[in-house]
Amino acid sequence: MMKKLFLLLALFSTMIAYAEKKPKKNKKPNVLFITVDDLNTHIPLFGYNEVITPNIDKLANEGILFNQAFCQYPVCGPSRASFLTSMYPMQTKILTNGPHVIDTRPDAVSIGKVFKDNDYWVANTGKVYHPHSEDFEWDATRKLKMEDNDLVLHLRDKFEAEYGTIDTPEEKKAWKILSAQYAEDDRQGGHALPLPIKDGVPLEDDLNVTTFNEWMDEEAYGDKPFFIAYGFHKPHVQYTAPQRFFDMYPLEDIHPEKVPFDDWNEKPLIANWKRYEAFEDVYFGLSQMDARKRYMQGYYACITYIDDLLGQLITKLKEKNLYEDTIIVFFSDHGYHMGNHFLYGKVSLYEESAKSPLIIRVPGNKHNGEQVNKTVELLDVFPTVTDLVDIETPVTVKGESLTTLLDNPEDKNFDKVALTYAKRGQLVGKSVRTNRYRYTQWGDDEKVAELYDYEKDPKEYKNLIYDASYTDVLKEMRAIYKEKIEECEALEIQGK
């Protein structure tokens, strides 16, 4: 009898030990939340087949591409404050890169904090949150640092090509004097410089991949599901990428699209943005094609660079058998002008600046590989992800979950308007985008406005504000504009 009892106890102990080691069946899916800085829609998914992005293309084919996703403010800080809290800029009270949500709206809750509060292992590497704006402490962040800034790395290559390896006292002294002038490389882009770097030199985005790989190899998340906020810095200026990516875009193969000289005849001049002044040799209305090609070469090289790194992330997930357990969200904080409308950079209310490539991959979704052509907003990503993992969405969230579109990309019941802001001094421009039209108004004067029909004019060359055949459309869009703004500028959050 005692022998049987011991056998039963041993068997029971073994079962308990096995149960403790066995993965939980109800473990929630992981989330890889990828943001890209300044990536516009100049990629094959949107018809720019000369740009090389095999990994972004593949992710879209294995997920769902949203063709009409729009940011709420085309600048890093305000846009990130918006989509990370799912609140509109007038609600976050952030319309510049300076303030932080934790100061302006302490009641707002960021997506990362929601996942941490729901027992996820949360980590952050790269540029996702605007610096010093987190409302909680991450379980892990990147610790690796670049030895030199982008400009110094670029100049060192040029120095060594002309003078040889820096290993003699004379060369070291000369290089020290030169590099000391560039202790700051103007990362935020007072100037825009295409900067090829010698292959094999780790840049900021490479360090993010190294950090991500370490987390995966060490299983830093333990037995918890993970939420990793991963931010690509490129293609933000400076246009820094390894030389091999510049080599993929010979200048003679780059053909900038010409802009009509009368493009601004019917546009309000306040809609213009002076960002082009940071681009050497490029002037409003007199865009020099050779200079434009150099900037496009650098920008496209950076896009292909981060595409390569994206492929490395996905490869690592597959190596660790995590790919089919991980939801991947991929999007840019806003778009970017590369010469259209004679504009360079962001902070406009046109498509190139306001639109973001958005991809959501949910493992096992039967609609993966399809596309959504309905208008959505970046602040919709937050409630979509929390819905997908069955986490309660905070009452402060103003976005709309896109899960119905993931279940049915042609859902006829889904219909919303995207709202985007941009400032000119103290004057605020506001723009609403439906599936077909955009109406923009600068301040309270309805005469300082724009109307575009994207079915007939996808490049926004024709402002229809005074076109008699669009009188009814204009009236309807102004009504939509007023209703959307009233809804999205209410500071009080329902339910609080």
Domain ranges for the chain: 27-146+197-408
Most confident of 159-173, 287-301, 367-381: 367-381
CA separation for the pair 200, 203 (Å, rounded): 9
> 142-152: b or e for each residue (b if 16 or more CB lie within 10 Å)?
beeeeeebbbb
- Identify the weakest region by mean pLDDT among 281-285, 298-302, 372-376, 398-402: 281-285
Per-residue pLDDT tens over the stretch 270-287: 999 876 566 665 554 445
Whether the per-residue pLDDT at 236 is higher than 60: the answer is yes
Q: What pLDDT sits at residue 247? A: 98
Q: How far apart are the first and last CA of the chain?
A: 64
Give the pLDDT mean for 26-34: 92
Q: What pLDDT sits at residue 91? A: 95
- Residue 440 in contact with residue 485, Cβ under 8 Å? no
Percent over 90 (pLDDT), the chain: 72
Per-residue pLDDT tens over the stretch 469-490: 999 999 999 999 999 999 998 8
Which has the higher per-residue pLDDT, 53 or 26? 53
User: pLDDT tier at 2 (50, 70, 90 boundaries)?
Assistant: very low
46: Cβ contacts below 8 Å, ≥ 6 apart: 67, 357
Q: What pLDDT sits at residue 168? A: 81
Residue 423 to residues 171, 324, 420: CA-CA distances in angstroms? 48, 42, 11
* Dihedral angle sign, alpha carbons of residues 235, 241, 247, 248: negative
Nearest CA to 359 among 349, 350, 351, 367? 367
User: pLDDT tier at 3 (50, 70, 90 boundaries)?
Assistant: very low
Per-residue pLDDT tens over the stretch 405-420: 999 999 999 999 999 9
Per-residue pLDDT tens over the stretch 169-208: 878 888 787 777 766 655 555 567 888 999 999 999 999 9
- Identify the weakest region by mean pLDDT among 26-35, 207-216, 217-226, 469-478: 26-35
Whether the per-residue pLDDT at 23 is higher than 50: the answer is no
Q: What pLDDT sits at residue 14? A: 38
- Residue 206 in contact with residue 142, Cβ under 8 Å? no
Per-residue pLDDT tens over the stretch 46-59: 999 999 999 999 99
Whether the per-residue pLDDT at 19 is higher than 60: the answer is no
CATH superfamily of 27-146+197-408: Alkaline Phosphatase, subunit A (3.40.720.10)
Mean pLDDT for the chain overall: 89
Per-residue pLDDT tens over the stretch 72-111: 999 999 999 999 999 999 999 999 888 888 889 999 999 9
Which has the higher per-residue pLDDT, 279 or 64? 64
Whether the per-residue pLDDT at 223 is higher than 70: the answer is yes
Q: What pLDDT sits at residue 292? A: 85
Q: What pLDDT sits at residue 177? A: 76
Q: What pTM value is reported for the model?
A: 0.90
CA separation for the pair 92, 99 (Å, rounded): 10
Q: What pLDDT sits at residue 287? A: 53
Percent over 70 (pLDDT), the chain: 89
Per-residue pLDDT tens over the stretch 419-448: 999 999 999 999 999 999 999 999 999 999
Whether the per-residue pLDDT at 320 is higher than 60: the answer is yes
CA separation for the pair 385, 330 (Å, rounded): 12
